[in-house]
């Protein structure tokens, strides 16, 4: 739980600023951004399938490490988008935004699935609801702290809905924050897999519910 908390709170969330950049600077239409979100939801389902099919028996440390490396690559794509470096290769803005959104949602699912499974297995019989709610509260609190950190970052760099001069620098800081949790993977037991080995029959119903949630 400590690692999941760090992995969310250490990454400044500046997605709101990116939305304004996409609409005010790139002039992407609302219908396109809506389509990108729909594709993102399909990517969530694809990420769930890939995790259950290929990753659940892999070492959890490796899954989380590659997930954050993947998210770092997505941030690099955003930096390229803001720096306009992709134009010289003939790549349209829409494709950069579309692929970035789709891949980010799929990769995030590789983090969320083991979090849900671990939360279910760590709950003793009789207090499943209370303890699972605590775990989800920790997850939501860390995400909120990441948003506050993003707000502080954009304020410090004078980034706003109409000022984007330092947006690439803000994304570079976000990139470093994305890589930071990899250094704390020692908090995850070395031999734990994406499925974990602590399954107990008396948790069967709760376990099944967790698998079905996504």
- Report percent pLDDT > 70 for the chain: 90
Tokens linked to 204: 């069967």
pLDDT at 196: 57
CATH fourth-level superfamily of 1-187? MFS general substrate transporter like domains (1.20.1250.20)
Return the structure tokens found at 203.
């948790």
123: pLDDT strictly greater than 80? no
Identify the three-state secondary structure at position 166. Answer: coil
pLDDT digits (tens, 9 = 90+) for 165-207: 999 999 999 999 999 999 999 998 888 776 754 444 344 333 3
Domain assignments of the chain as residue spans, ordered by start: 1-187
Mean pLDDT within 106-124: 81
Q: How far is CA 60 from CA 16, 186, 194, 209, in A?
A: 31, 11, 5, 21
| pTM for this prediction | 0.83
Of 108, 129, 141, nearest to 209 (Cα)? 129
Mean pLDDT across 53-76: 91
């Amino acid at each position: 739980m400590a690692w999941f908390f760090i992995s969310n709170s250490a990454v400044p969330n500046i997605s709101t600023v990116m939305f304004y950049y996409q609409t005010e600077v790139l002039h992407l239409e609302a219908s396109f951004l809506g389509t990108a979100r729909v594709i993102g939801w399909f990517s969530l389902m694809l990420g769930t399938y890939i995790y259950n099919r290929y990753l659940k028996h892999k070492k959890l440390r490796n899954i989380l490490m590659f997930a954050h490396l993947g998210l770092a690559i997505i941030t690099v794509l955003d930096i390229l988008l803001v720096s306009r470096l992709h134009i010289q290769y003939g790549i349209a803005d829409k494709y950069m935004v579309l692929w970035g959104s789709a891949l980010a949602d799929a990769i995030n699912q590789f983090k969320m699935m083991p979090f849900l499974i671990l939360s279910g297995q760590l709950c003793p019989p009789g207090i499943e609801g209370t303890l699972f709610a605590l775990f989800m509260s920790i997850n939501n609190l860390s995400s909120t702290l990441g948003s506050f950190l993003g707000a502080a970052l954009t304020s410090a760099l004078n980034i706003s809905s109409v000022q984007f001069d330092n947006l690439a620098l803000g994304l570079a800081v976000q990139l470093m924050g994305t890589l930071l949790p990899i250094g704390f993977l020692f908090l995850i037991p070395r031999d734990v897999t994406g499925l974990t080995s602590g399954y107990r029959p008396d948790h069967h119903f709760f376990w099944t519910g967790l698998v079905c949630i996504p």
